[in-house]
Chains A and B, each alone.
Chain A
């Protein structure tokens, strides 16, 4: 036998409690003290529909009378359950017709939306191939035109002025002019890396739409800009003695 979804079982239980029918597995807290449904309850099946479903043989003219009778009693559900319904009645007073008036939205539980997919070959591999070829061509041409720096052999007795770290660490070297080395060289990058790792755990916003995450985007952009500006200053605006210079005034003191 197939598994009946839990939410359907729950709805069935609630409905049975509302109708005053015996609930299999015992009534739960909500079902036990279910208030008698009134005719105005939107979830309640209209009494005249119930009456019609349980006595299909009767003439249409008797339906309004049944509806009036249902509305007059304080517990409409009880009235329907005790009404004689000899035709098309299943076990425990259930008829199949009752199912047809349950709202569609509560029965259909769509878990997976179908996704629009394409074959990796050729759609993705073509793009990857073109990107790799473009990158190879760029690298080959650039390398043929621009030589990697090779300065004089390492000499402990001659310190170049300025001596700079690789460009991606120049932001740190820039911080070194403002803070104690333990702060600039260890604490700040350590905290930075750690904060980056914690990003998915500290950002609890479930949305990935840009308009919903203005704060996260602003914060990251500020962080990246801050870092970029420090690196650019370190690369181009620092001259002998690591003092501030302008590249157009004193030239560039920077090797990649």
Chain B
């Protein structure tokens, strides 16, 4: 800053020696004042890069992870082979990312959707034709859902082929299979919500199959449909499952899954 001040002083006569400072210097002074204020220091924890700036050092690399709620799902350091894209193909992380996209787009869709047989289809139609970005967001929600089923499935295959379910990761594999099942259920419950011919009859096929559960098949079907056949009650039931109950359950299982990845010693391998 001093350098620039000197140049200004010599060049265009702004620095006349009477405390007249350049805009850049005034800006940096304000920045200094903000960073040393109580409000700022109460927000950013000691060691935060927003306090002293970031210079590349092992200490600061650790602080980046430790001072972020999101990043500290990761350890500060991981095995070198675990960061290779060719090892994981990012499949687990992308499944989680798709879940986040699905949550965000799903919340948007909820603003325009009423789960009754009389209104559901019209709401989707209106969403597609009259709501800004409605069609795009609905498309994203649907394609992301299919992609998530695929990526979760591929993630499971990857883990199997790497033998990463072996001790000490047996329990996390079981959690993973539960997550796969929950993903399929989330996708299937969402399938009914547009209430068009595709969803009605796909769900009819699916629930008829579940009706053949041994011993208490008809009870299972009745609970799932909220009645003897698919109708408004089914729609409400599956809507609540889709937007509340299943996401709630899957988030709990995801939390356990991620936590166990670290507790079981990070990623498996190398082979």
A contacts, CB < 8 Å to B: 115-125, 127-128, 131-132, 135-136, 139-140, 142-144, 146-156, 158-160, 163-169, 172-173, 176, 180-182, 184-187, 193, 196-197, 199-201, 203, 205-210, 213, 216-217, 220, 224, 255-256
Among B2-10, B28-36, B143-151, B249-257, the one that faces the other chain is B143-151
B contacts, CB < 8 Å to A: 58, 61-62, 64-65, 71, 74-83, 85, 90, 93-94, 97-98, 101, 117, 121-122, 124-125, 128, 135-136, 138-144, 146-147, 149, 153, 156-157, 160-167, 169-170, 173-174, 177-178, 180-181, 184, 187-188, 191, 194-202, 204-206, 208-214, 217, 229, 268-269, 271
Asked if residues A147 and B61 are in contact (CB atoms below 8 Å), the reply is: no
Known contacts A144-B139, A220-B157, then 12 further A-B pairs from the complex at CB < 8 Å, ordered by chain A residue: A116-B80, A123-B78, A128-B90, A139-B140, A140-B136, A148-B138, A153-B195, A163-B204, A173-B209, A185-B208, A206-B166, A224-B157
Asked if residues A136 and B101 are in contact (CB atoms below 8 Å), the reply is: yes
Asked if residues A121 and B209 are in contact (CB atoms below 8 Å), the reply is: no
Asked if residues B202 and A153 are in contact (CB atoms below 8 Å), the reply is: no
CB-contact partner of A118 in B77, B209, B210, under 8 A: B77
| Distance of A169 Cα from B208 Cα, bound (Å) | 13
What are 9 residue pairs bridging A and B, where the CB atoms are less than 8 Å apart in the complex?
A131-B85, A132-B94, A139-B143, A150-B128, A166-B191, A168-B184, A182-B212, A196-B180, A200-B170
Chain B contact residues: over half helix, strand or loop, or mixed?
helix
Asked if residues A120 and B160 are in contact (CB atoms below 8 Å), the reply is: no
Given the contacts A118-B83, A154-B197, A166-B202, A208 and B269 also touching, CB distance less than 8 Å: yes
- Closest-CB distance, B85 to chain A (whole angstroms): 6
Asked if residues B206 and A165 are in contact (CB atoms below 8 Å), the reply is: yes
| Distance of A220 Cα from B161 Cα, bound (Å) | 8
Given the contacts A120-B65, A142-B143, A164 and B161 also touching, CB distance less than 8 Å: no
Residues of B within 8 A of A132 (CB): 93-94, 97
Asked if residues A163 and B205 are in contact (CB atoms below 8 Å), the reply is: yes
Given the contacts A139-B144, A160-B197, A196-B177, A146 and B139 also touching, CB distance less than 8 Å: yes
**CB-nearest residue of chain B relative to A212?**
B163
Given the contacts A119-B76, A135-B97, A200 and B214 also touching, CB distance less than 8 Å: no
Asked if residues A116 and B79 are in contact (CB atoms below 8 Å), the reply is: yes
Asked if residues A155 and B161 are in contact (CB atoms below 8 Å), the reply is: no
**CB-nearest residue of chain B relative to A132?**
B97
Asked if residues A181 and B208 are in contact (CB atoms below 8 Å), the reply is: yes
- Closest-CB distance, A195 to chain B (whole angstroms): 10
- Closest-CB distance, A207 to chain B (whole angstroms): 7
Given the contacts A120-B71, A120-B76, A186-B210, A208 and B184 also touching, CB distance less than 8 Å: no
Residues of B within 8 A of A187 (CB): 214
**CB-nearest residue of chain A relative to B136?**
A143
Residues of B within 8 A of A216 (CB): 163
Asked if residues B165 and A199 are in contact (CB atoms below 8 Å), the reply is: yes
Residues of B within 8 A of A167 (CB): 146
- Closest-CB distance, A99 to chain B (whole angstroms): 36
Asked if residues B163 and A208 are in contact (CB atoms below 8 Å), the reply is: yes
Asked if residues A120 and B210 are in contact (CB atoms below 8 Å), the reply is: no
- Closest-CB distance, A167 to chain B (whole angstroms): 8
**CB-nearest residue of chain A relative to B72?**
A120
Asked if residues A151 and B94 are in contact (CB atoms below 8 Å), the reply is: no
Residues of A within 8 A of B135 (CB): 147
Residues of A within 8 A of B209 (CB): 172-173, 176, 181, 184-186
Residues of B within 8 A of A201 (CB): 170
Residues of A within 8 A of B61 (CB): 119, 121-122
Residues of B within 8 A of A143 (CB): 136, 139-140, 143
| Distance of A203 Cα from B162 Cα, bound (Å) | 13
Residues of A within 8 A of B199 (CB): 154
Asked if residues A163 and B78 are in contact (CB atoms below 8 Å), the reply is: no
**CB-nearest residue of chain B relative to A168?**
B149
Given the contacts A154-B197, A163-B202, A176-B209, A117 and B269 also touching, CB distance less than 8 Å: no
Please indicate which of the listed interface residues B94, B196, B211, B217 has the most CB atoms of chain A within 10 Å of its own CB.
B196
Residues of A within 8 A of B208 (CB): 181, 185
Residues of A within 8 A of B213 (CB): 182, 186
Please indicate which of the listed interface residues A139, A164, A187 has the most CB atoms of chain B within 10 Å of its own CB.
A139
- Closest-CB distance, B144 to chain A (whole angstroms): 6
- Closest-CB distance, A3 to chain B (whole angstroms): 25
CB-contact partner of B64 in A121, A213, A224, under 8 A: A121
